[in-house]
Structures are given as structure tokens and as C-alpha cells.
Structure 1
Amino acid sequence: MSSDVSPGTSQAWAALGADPALLERVSYGGPTDGLPARLPVRELARAIVAVCSLAAAELAAARTGGPVPRVRVDDGAVATAFLSDRLVRVDGRAAATFAPLSRFWRAADGWVRTHANYPHHRERLLVALGLPGDAGVDAVAEAVAGRRATDVEDTVYAAGGLAVAARDVRRWAAHEQGALVAGRPLLTLERIGGAQAPAPTRAGGTRAWSRTPGTPRLPCAGVRVLDLTRVLAGPVATRTLALLGADVLRIDAPGLPESQDAHNDTGMGKRSTTLDLGRGADHRVFEDLLAGADVVVTGYRPGALDRFGLSPEALAERRPGLVVAQLSAWGRYGPWRERRGFDSLVQAATGIAVLEGSADEPGALPAQALDHGTGYLLAAAVLRALTGRLGPDGGGTWLARLALTQTAHWLVHGLAGDAGPAAGGPPAGSTGHDPERWTTETDSPMGRLRHALPPIAYEGAPANWARPSGLWGTDPARWATA
């Protein structure tokens, strides 16, 4: 194991506002041939997993009163974890990945990336292009070929669909949204609403998770997390908190079903239920859950949940003491702040797809690294906020905000820097990395489930989740812990 702290680890740890002296607790090892790309994807992955592991170790020490455990980052485990959505199997069956209409299309003046994995997104894409509901690849290719890429982007988004013109780094930097991203930090983590003590529960007591005796194996033991996220970054974050002992309850709207294949990967350690927050009875159930929560994680478009009283300001007033973590694709600012987005679309917009492509067509990172990376970074921010709550002046509501575009900017400009896009190694292609070593199998309600092992590793860390993924949306809407 090497004990030299990578530059990316130092940058990410500084972005979390953490004590730089703790970085000496981090070491690295394992095969480094996973995640080959022109951009430094390996460095991004190992750095973010390192700070997430260190944040977990720091919280463990804060809760037990012991020293901060040492962190061991295995590059093979990290690469495997960043490919977890592609490696999951149920009874040997691979998960469905991208749908036929989720791909790059040649436009009249460039390329367009679409995302149509969900039926409602596919329907909106076809409506925007003036095509029937049964249209296939050839029809879409013909419709896009006669239009400018940005015209397709604007038309599809106006119809509620998902399409982004592929831009190079310069064009994105000149775009209003890209310029705003460049002026912001990798993430923000701050305390809002003053330094009040945690709010009382409905039962009249206070949440007593803060200090427990024992080992640092589960630093989030007793912590309750409301998970209002969807594929992929948010669920990766809450899956990590579940690994560390948190009681994580994912809540989805019943009319917006999730892919079971996606949930097989990101539902590890959690429970999943559905509530319609627009219905009185369901909203009251949600309010009862919120009254006993310690952490609320949201991954919807900025402002989408504000009407339910879930803005940070409203939560700080109603539930002082919460940790609120918000994730978005494009950020909470600029002309694209209300747009939906996914990893593949952010890669296309920010110049990553052009950097990773060829003269003939755009390419892609070897994994959905923006999603996975932002997910582990979001978990790290929550862990640091929980540690902050244990300090002498740690009360109040803690707010973490992250965006896929900010992670993308760090990858392209912060990590690659003056070394340029080739800093990460050769383009994506064949690799000697064998993920079998870092996967395992277990019985689940869906069948025999094969999944990647967690990459979070420190002295005493859990080696696996306490429970496998279950059937999406079938758990009762109540906390598992007293």
C-alpha cells in the first residue's frame, strides 16, 4: 500500500472543509488498470472513495471517542464499484442498460445525445420529433439528421424530454450554464438556520444516535435517512450510508416507477416504499417519517419538491438539526437549473464525450463516473455534516449541495489541469481489470443476486451490506429502527 496522498484526494478533502492532517491516515493499493480513459477517471474515482472512507472513519472516531481509523483504498475495488450498475446479475441475467433510443445521433451540424430509458422520456422524445409512438431507431435518426443539434436539444426539452447537443470544452465554457459552473466549487457544505439543537421527535424526546459505545464498524448506526432520489448518483450515496449502518427509507411517487434492474444495484441495504405526497393521507405519513429523520437526501430537479415543504429553508425552520443533501444534474443556477439530466447527457454537454471520442463520433467515459463519483462525494458530505453535528457548536441544519456538472468540471479542469485530457491514460478500451474479485452473490427476493462489493474501506469497516436489495416500492412506510 502506498501512503502518498493523491492530489485529487487532497482537493476533494479540502472541498469538504475537513482537517488536512487526517489525510495521513489514507493509503492506496491494488491494480490500477481499471477505468481506462483519456481523462483522469481513475484518479477521480480513487480520490472520492478515499474521502468518503475517511469521512466515515472520522465519524466513527467522533462517535466512539477513539482514534480515526486508517483508510485503505483498493483501486480494483474502486473500479469495480464504479461499474456496479453493469455488473449486477439476478440468476445470471444481466441488467438492462441503455434503451435503443438512448444514444448519440448525427444532426445536421454535429451530434445529439438523447436519454429515453424510461417510457415517459421515450414518449416525449418522439412527440418532440413529430414521430409516432412506435417509431424506432431509423425514424429518429432521419428526424434528427435534418435539424441543427441545438434545435433538437431545445425542442425535446420543451416537450419534457431529454436531449443535449454534444459540445466541446470550449463551446461549453462559452455557454452561460458552463460559465456559471466554472465559477463554483466542487461542492458546498454549510450550516444554515443558526445553531439550534436537534428538533424533538413526535414522542417528545430527541434523536439519540449521536454517541454510542463499541467499534467504528457502523458509524451511521441509529441515523435515519429519507431517500428521495432516483438513478444513479443519489441512490449510490444513500446505498453508502446504508452500508455504514443508517436506516435508509427510499420514497418514490407511485406514478413514477423505478427500474427494478436499477434498484437491484442501488437498493442494497435499504428499504423502499411509495407515497403520493399530493394526497393528504400519504403526506401525513411522510410528515411522521420526517419528524423522526436525521438526514434528507433529494435528487430531483431544483425546486421540484419545494411545494411539499422540502426546501432547505423550510426544513431548517421546521426540523432544525437535520442534514439536508441536495443533488442535481446541472446545478441550482443558470438557464438550465430546471432541466432534467443524466450522466450521459452531462458528458455530452460539457465536452467529455468529445474528449473521449474519435474524429468520427463522440465517446463516453468507461463508467458512469459522474454519477458514481458524485454519489460517493454526496455521502462523504453527509458524513462530514453528521460529524459536525457532534461538535460543541454543531447544531442547526447542515446543507450539502452537489451537481454532476460540477464533478464534470473538476474532472476536466481540476484533475486534468495543465496536463490536458491525456492525463488519465489511454482511451477507454480493453483492460486487465477483472472485477470478479470484488463481486459476490447472495439470495434476494428477486433471485440469486450478484453485485459489486462496497469500495469503502477503513479499519473495522463493514465488508458488505446487512441486507440485499429488495423489490422496489414494497416495504412499509415506517422506520425500521426505534
Structure 2
Amino acid sequence: MDNTVRTGTELLWSALGGDPVLLDRVAYGGPSGLLPARLPVMDLARATVAVAGLAAVERAGLPGPVRVDDGAVATAFVSERHLRVDGRAPVNFAPLSRFWRAADGWVRTHANYPHHKAALLAALKAPDSVEAVAAAIGERKAVEIETAVYGAGGLAVALRTPEEWAAHEQGREVAARPLLTRETLDGAAPPRRAGRPLRVLDLTRVIAGPVATRTLALLGADVLRIDPPGNPELPDQHADTDIGKRTAALDLDSPSDRRAFGELLDAADVLVTGYRPGALDRLDLHRPGLVTARLSAWGDYGPWRERRGFDSLVQVATGIAAVEGSRSGGEEAPEQQPGALPAQALDHGTGYLLAAAVLRSLTEQDRDGGTRLVRLALAQTGHWLTHTLPRYEPERHLTETDGPLGRLRHALSPVAYEGGPAGWSRPPGIAGADTPEWLPLRA
């Protein structure tokens, strides 16, 4: 097993407060070479799925092993692409959700939801067409577009390099904080849940939160998802991520629906939210003995704490799209072409990590009691992927040798064993210059 695979799982399990002895219960396998990227996306996927499974067997008191099959993991991380509804392929991105060339760089927008699309068009003062939006964006600077669209309630992010994100105020806030936080808010007594399934109230949308609650439903939880009646989930997102759950509509600005929601919350064991920090403060969601898991795009700190965000936009802001992109235009005038991860890996990875955090909180709560709060953010997962998870670095496997051809930079041999040679005994010489004879026998 590649040590980087176990390293990622160890790092996450430690962040979750898990017993390191349990790590030996994870078994890895399956086909290799999946989810290829410059960043260690497959290692992120394996590790997040591994800790979700490990937290599940720990809570269930089962011996394991937890099987992490690369084929299953890679397929699940692009589950929305494999979905078919009566043979119809899903619509994952609307026409106006894409990269656009701005006057000084690139911008990515997200306009899958009708209200986000309307805000984008209003900010750009453009009609509803790809050509019109391209023209409007092309006339303005990327950060100017970002500011204007967010100001109108839409979503647009300028492409930044990792260095630019590190210098950005929100980037500095993300870098200064841990991958996730786990808090015990009070000394509430351990709950009594015997004889009924775990009750999970789901207030999440799109991928990360729904993947977490989909996982909890798989493990036997009674998951009830609540959406506003006038703003349901996109049909294909619902079909992919609401499997195993029940869904209902409540208008939380209506007194009667608010009372119904409060009664549901009073009897819940877990609350999972995926709205912007502060967006649900009016609802008074605190309940003694509840496990609350809060998910956001940028984190509940820094100047972007109240901004909306999705995986594709977090990739663009944090430098991931620049790392996964390419350069064109030649050496005289290189131009950065943005790229993307092979999956919405920040969403899916954060979803499995969120499920693991909930399960670990429940396990600790059953033993020690307490009202629990866990917080995760897509930007934090992105930072973990780019700065903490071990990356493949070709330079570690290269060396330099002086010889007749000059200084040669070349790859080390992958054939290595204890007591074996560290490298070749001689560098390459001038082609054809050696005497055609065998070396003399050593005395």
C-alpha cells in the first residue's frame, strides 16, 4: 500500500479525534490510476471515504475491515455524472455556469439555480445568452466582475493563483485555521436513543451536505430534508443525493411552518446545515444534546464568510484551477488556461468527512454527553488538498550526475531494495566511443 494513502487517512482520523489503533481496520484496493490530477485527488477521496467507514464501524461496534475500493470511490466521487433518470443523462452545469475570459484574466460563474442566473444577468446588464454574457464579461476586469455579481446576489469568482490566494485576506484566514473544528458546548447528559433510528434533520443543498446525509441514511438514520417550498433542489441533484432520505417543504417565515420545524428539531439527534454562516440565525437552532454540523463554502470567518459558494468556484479562488490548468501562447506571452479537478472533489470529500465528524461526535456523545458542534468548509478542504496531503513530487525521484555529456539530470531507478545499489555505476558516455570489448575481470 502506498504510504501516502494511509497518511491521508491518519491525518483525517487524528483531526476527528479517533483512536489511531483503529486505523489497521482499513483495507485498500481496487484499480489504480483513477481521478488523475496534478493534485492528490484520489488520495483525498480514499481518505475521506476511509474515515467515514471507520467512524461507522466504530459507532456500530463492528470489527471491520473497512473496505476502500478505488473503483467504488472514484465512481462515487462523480456520482452526479453517472446518474440516469429513465435513461436521461443529468444536467450538471447550466450554459451560464462556466469559465469566461475577462479583460485581464478569467472568471467562473455559477448560474444553475434560477435566482443565481437572474442575479448574474442583472449585474452584467446582459440578456440571457452565452454570447451576450461573454461580451459583457470580456469588457471588464475579473475582480470587478466578481465584486459586481456577488453584490447583486449572484456567484462569480476571479481566477487566482495559489500565491494570489495565499496573499488574499480570506486565503490567510483559511490557512490559519484547522481543517475542521469539533466543540462540546455544554455538559448535557448522554442521550437516550435506544429502540429507534437516528433522527437527522437535513438543511443542506447541492453536493457536500447531501452526500453527508446520504451516507448517514445508508447507515440507517431517518434523514428528513427540508427545503423552502418555492425553491426546491434541482431535480437531478435531488435524484442523485437524496437517495435513502425523506424530503419535505416548509416555509420557515410562516408561523405555522416554523412551529412544525421547531417540533422536528426538538426531537432530532443531528442537524446538518449548508447555508451561509448567519443565514439561519433567526431560527434559534440550539437544542441541548443536539449534534449540529455546519458546512459552508468559505468558512464562518474572514471577509468572505457571508458569501455563497460552490466547489467549482472554490477551486477557482484558491488556486486549484490554476494548478490544474495549462499555459499557452508561447514563451513570449504565456497565458494561463484554467482547469478543474476530475471530480467535484471538495464537495464529495467534505461530504464524507462531514459524515465521519457527525458519527464520531455521536460516539463521543453517547459516552460523555454534551451538545456538540462541528464545522467544515469547502475552502478548508481545498487548503488541506493543496498544502497538507502529501503530493507526488517528481523532484524527489530525480538526481544529477556529471559525466562526458556534462551535467545530466535524470530519474532514479524505481528498482530498489535493502542492500541494493543506490544508482548506476557510471554515467552515459559519448555514443559509440567505447572499445568493443568486455571489461576485464576484477582481481
User: Do the two structures share a fold, i.e. TM-score over 0.5?
Assistant: yes
Which amino acid letter does the alignment assign opposite residue 197 of structure 1?
A
From 380, 384, 388, the equivalent of 1:414 is: 388
From 348, 351, 355, the equivalent of 1:379 is: 355
Which amino acid letter does the alignment assign opposite residue 18 of structure 2?
A
What are structure 1's unaligned runs of at least 5 residues? Answer: 62-66, 199-205, 213-220, 424-482
Normalising by structure 2, report the TM-score.
0.85
From 307, 313, 319, the equivalent of 1:339 is: 307
CA distance in 2, matches of 1:422, 1:255: 55
- Please give the residue correspondences for 1:7-18 in structure 2 after superposition, counting only pairs within 5 Å: 7-18=7-18
Which amino acid letter does the alignment assign opposite residue 188 of structure 2?
Q
| 1:363 aligned partner | 339
Change (3 A) 1:354 1:420: farther
Change (3 A) 1:334 1:420: farther
Percent identity over the alignment is 66
Matched length: 389
| 2:268 aligned partner | 293
Deviates more, 1:89-98 or 1:409-418: 409-418
Which amino acid letter does the alignment assign opposite residue 377 of structure 1?
L
Which amino acid letter does the alignment assign opposite residue 396 of structure 1?
G
CA distance in 2, matches of 1:300, 1:45: 24
Which amino acid letter does the alignment assign opposite residue 90 of structure 2?
A
1:419, distance to aligned residue in structure 2 (A) = 3.3
1:5, distance to aligned residue in structure 2 (A) = 5.9
CA distance in 2, matches of 1:88, 1:395: 40
Question: Which aligned segments of 4 or more residues in structure 1 are displaced greater than 4 angstroms?
Answer: 1-5, 420-423
- Deviation per CA, 1:95-120, whole angstroms, max 9, x where unpaired? 11101100001111110000001111
1:257, distance to aligned residue in structure 2 (A) = 1.9
- Deviation per CA, 1:183-226, whole angstroms, max 9, x where unpaired? 1111111211x21115xxxxxxx7423xx7xxxxxxxx610000
Which amino acid letter does the alignment assign opposite residue 282 of structure 1?
D
From 188, 203, 214, the equivalent of 1:196 is: 188
Which amino acid letter does the alignment assign opposite residue 384 of structure 2?
W
Change (3 A) 1:225 1:338: same
From 363, 367, 370, the equivalent of 1:396 is: 370
CA distance in 2, matches of 1:384, 1:321: 15
Secondary structure at 2:380 match in 1: helix
1:68, distance to aligned residue in structure 2 (A) = 3.3
Kept in 2, the 8 Å contact 1:232–1:372? The answer is: yes
Larger Rg: 2
CA distance in 2, matches of 1:88, 1:388: 36
What are structure 2's unaligned runs of at least 5 residues? Answer: 329-336, 398-443
From 225, 243, 247, the equivalent of 1:272 is: 247
1:2, distance to aligned residue in structure 2 (A) = 8.4
Normalising by structure 1, report the TM-score.
0.78
Kept in 1, the 8 Å contact 2:5–2:43? The answer is: no
CA distance in 2, matches of 1:307, 1:75: 43
Higher relative contact order (CA 8 A, sep 6+): 1
| Cα RMSD (Å) | 1.9
From 130, 135, 139, the equivalent of 1:142 is: 135
CA distance in 2, matches of 1:422, 1:370: 27
| 2:100 aligned partner | 105
| Structure 2 residue 292 is matched with structure 1 residue 324 | yes
| 1:216 aligned partner | none
| 2:226 aligned partner | 251
| 1:157 aligned partner | 150
Kept in 2, the 8 Å contact 1:48–1:377? The answer is: yes
1:4, distance to aligned residue in structure 2 (A) = 9.1
Secondary structure at 2:104 match in 1: coil
CA distance in 2, matches of 1:366, 1:230: 21
